[in-house]
Structure 1
Amino acid sequence: MSKEFEITREFEVDATPEEVWEAITDGTGGYLWPMEPPEPKVGGKAAFGSTVTAYDPPHHLTIRSEDVGFPVQSVNQLEHVIESRDGGRRAWVRYVHSGIFTDDWDNQYDGASKHTDFYLHTLREYLTHFAGRPVAFATLDGPGASTAADAFAAVGRALGLAEDTAQGARVAARGPAGQTFDAVVDYRNPYFLGLRTDGALIRFFGRNHWGAPVGISVHDFAPDADAKVNETAWQDWLNGVFSRSQSESQSESQSESRS
């Protein structure tokens, strides 16, 4: 059954309105995924076949699509309202995601709402630590085993994080090829995990909670960053997490059956 939805968030950030505007129009790879910037006019074309319905830099941007391309959604609209704070040194942002979900409304809304909080947090991390820097973006999904109910907990364990490792902690995380790297846990809840290094934002998505595979996105700001290398390395790591999980589960089941 079709039903409208609206997700509204407001926040302040240590960035100028101009920096926020640059991020949401031409720097989306730094916190979301790379997209062509919208045409700078009302009625202009924007990403994924959407249309610009409000354009007033650096204060107001609205993009709307009535042909979303997903079977569970028919209308999608994103609005950003940006105001200056502290003499232009900071910005206040109001973000509204609205539209129509056509099926599985509660699950779709829950997923969209929780993803919104994580994406906007990553936007603030980008603006605070990496604004304006070129980015190599990579994204990938886990294998079918990563849709299991406890899959996201396995990701935390594979990174070497304790269950009580909280947001704000500094950690030596275990990454691809068994190598460790220093990071700050900049976001953590049962659904998402964010690690920030000196040169990258690494985001882990527990989409198994909504019936999809676990995902990873890497926003790498190092001068020599290679998106394909990152994608291959983290894909191998994620595949390894769940191949081990499957083997361990099978071994445990066999042990239990013999006892």
Structure 2
Amino acid sequence: MGHAFELTKDIELAATPEQVWEAIATGPGIDSWFMGRSEVNPGEGSRTRHDMAGFVSEATVTGWEPGKRFAYRGDAGPDGTFMAIEYLIEGREQGSTTLRLVQSGVLGDNWETEYEAMKVGWDMYLGTLAAYVAHFAGRTGAPVTAFRPQAGTPDEVWAAVARALGITGPVTEGAPVRFTVDGLPPVEGVVDLAGLPTYLGVRTDDALYRFLHSGTDRGNALVLGHHLFGRQQDPERTGPAWQNWVAALPIG
């Protein structure tokens, strides 16, 4: 039996309403902070498409007010489950913006686990959006995704990730990060999101790196969702390199 839900998140962004609109209501903008690849056709009644590692979901745009409101509703599944998203944009003084996210719909039998995962996951995604508009506004990020199912418990995974990233002290925002991935240039940056035991983010001069643990109830998967802004970044080469990295990461 389906379970209706509604989830609301608010965030202050160091960007204008126009910049925020470009980030949330265009395919290239969404690709720069959210996982997978997205396509958005403008106008109410048009269609959107999101591809996450071959899993494709489509939706209909239900609200289109540039600079103010963007909303869409996903196609319902055979069991009646569906997701709807609404973004409300409000300009503030000195060029900042308040963004309200409202996600609603109907979840399946395992709704409690799904709801908790969405609630925490949005903290990471909105934190990534904030980093994108603050540090990479006007640029388009190339998304790179990699997975390792059944990677290990949260404690095991985060200990391994911290070692691999060269983090020697507590995993806190501002901690320095230095590491290498075979076949790619060395990476040097700082932790900019510290949401353990669920997620960890690293920001460099030309990328946002995101590491997400799915949780024990969702298979103990380690998911990487990076956004590359450097001109020399090639997702066709970078994607396999990161997949090899996560597959070879010594855990436990």
Q: Using structure 2 for the length normalisation, give the TM-score.
A: 0.87
Where does residue 205 of structure 2 map in the other structure? 198
Offset at residue 11 of structure 1 (A): 1.4
What are the Cα deviations for residues 30-68 of structure 1, in whole angstroms up to 9, with x where unaligned?
Answer: 00032112x322211122321111111110011002325
Alignment of 1:72-151 (within 5 A): 74-86=81-93, 89-142=95-148, 144-151=149-156
Where does residue 8 of structure 1 map in the other structure? 8
Offset at residue 212 of structure 1 (A): 4.5
Structure with bigger helix share is 1
**Among 219, 232, 237, which residue is 1:211 paired with?**
219
Alignment of 1:182-197 (within 5 A): 182-188=188-194, 189-197=196-204
Where does residue 47 of structure 2 map in the other structure? 45
Offset at residue 16 of structure 1 (A): 0.5
- 2:38 is the counterpart of 1:35: yes
Offset at residue 163 of structure 1 (A): 5.7
Q: Distance in 2 between matches of 1:81 and 1:100?
A: 21
- 2:83 is the counterpart of 1:66: no
**Cα distance change of structure 1 residues 16 and 175 upon mapping to structure 2, 3 Å threshold:** same
Structure 1 range deviating more: 109-118 or 60-69: 60-69
Structure with bigger strand share is 2
- The answer on whether the counterparts of 2:177 and 2:202 sit within 8 Å (CA) in structure 1 is no
Where does residue 176 of structure 1 map in the other structure? 181
Structure 1 SS opposite 2:205: coil
Q: Distance in 2 between matches of 1:112 and 1:147?
A: 21
One-letter amino acid matched to 2:242: W
One-letter amino acid matched to 1:11: I
Structure 1 SS opposite 2:38: coil
Structure 1 range deviating more: 157-166 or 230-239: 157-166
Long gaps (5+) in structure 2: 50-56
- Counting aligned pairs with the same residue, the percent is 33
Q: Distance in 2 between matches of 1:68 and 1:175?
A: 42
Long gaps (5+) in structure 1: 250-259
Q: Using structure 1 for the length normalisation, give the TM-score.
A: 0.85
- The answer on whether the counterparts of 1:151 and 1:208 sit within 8 Å (CA) in structure 2 is no
**Bigger radius of gyration among the two:** 1
Offset at residue 221 of structure 1 (A): 0.4
One-letter amino acid matched to 1:65: G
Offset at residue 6 of structure 1 (A): 1.4
Where does residue 157 of structure 2 map in the other structure? 152
Offset at residue 103 of structure 1 (A): 1.7
- Equivalent residues, number: 238
Which aligned runs of 4 or more in structure 1 are off by greater than 4 angstroms?
none
Structure 1 range deviating more: 156-165 or 225-234: 156-165
Cα RMSD (Å): 2.1
- The answer on whether the counterparts of 2:167 and 2:176 sit within 8 Å (CA) in structure 1 is no
Where does residue 56 of structure 1 map in the other structure? 65
Structure 1 range deviating more: 132-141 or 22-31: 132-141
- 2:237 is the counterpart of 1:238: no
**Cα distance change of structure 1 residues 68 and 14 upon mapping to structure 2, 3 Å threshold:** farther
One-letter amino acid matched to 1:152: V
- The answer on whether the counterparts of 1:49 and 1:67 sit within 8 Å (CA) in structure 2 is no
